[in-house]
Amino acid sequence: MGCFWCAETAFEGREGIVSVTSGFAGGHVENPTYNDVGRGGTGHYEVIQVVFDADPLSYEDVLYIFWRNVDPFDDGGQFCDRGNTYRPAIFATADQRMAAAFSLEELDERFDAPIVVPVLDAAPFYPAEDYHQDFYMKDPERYYSYRRGCRRDARLEAVWGEERLDDLVHAEGY
């Protein structure tokens, strides 16, 4: 979903979300640091790990939130964040893979442009350093400045229109 700072807030505060953790997945280096991933060569994506209570929130609901917080037509990064680290992807377990693929197919049929977000097999998840977790609370001025500067919300509005889900944290922020 691009930068994990903004990806976190798409899920934070929603009913049924147990935890959201920023980190890395999909690479070939164990326990990478932010600097390792940022330098390149590890193959990792910046990701979030979303733990949810399936009683009030189904996996399909999680996918709905995901899609409305990503530009599904851009595989070169997201918003102002460019490069392999910021590619959008869904990492799905074997049990989740069919639902994820179906959600992608539904969107592919709906839009004229191809959906370029891959559904990948779940990969080892490595949490990012503590200072990245809940960054929007630790440094709100920098977070909101970054978010506005990247024009994330404007692009999501352009793609999703009325379907766009307001980021609950962002909506309560600045």
Looking up residue 108, the CATH number of its domain turns out to be 3.30.1060.10
pLDDT of amino acid 97: 97
| pLDDT > 90 fraction of the chain, expressed in percent and rounded | 93
Average pLDDT over residues 35-52: 97
Does 133 reside within a domain? yes
Does 136 reside within a domain? yes
Does 173 reside within a domain? no
Does 171 reside within a domain? no
Query: pLDDT (tens digit, 9 = 90+) per residue, 80-138?
Result: 999 999 999 999 999 999 999 999 999 999 999 999 999 999 999 999 999 999 999 99
Does 174 reside within a domain? no
Does 20 reside within a domain? yes
Domain extent for 153 = 4-166
Mean pLDDT lowest among 104-118, 137-151, 158-172: 158-172
Is residue 3 part of the annotated active site? The answer reads yes
User: For residue 119, which amino acid is it?
Assistant: V
pTM across the whole model: 0.93
What domain count does the chain have?
Answer: 1
Catalytic choice (3, 6, 80, 150): 3
Does 172 reside within a domain? no
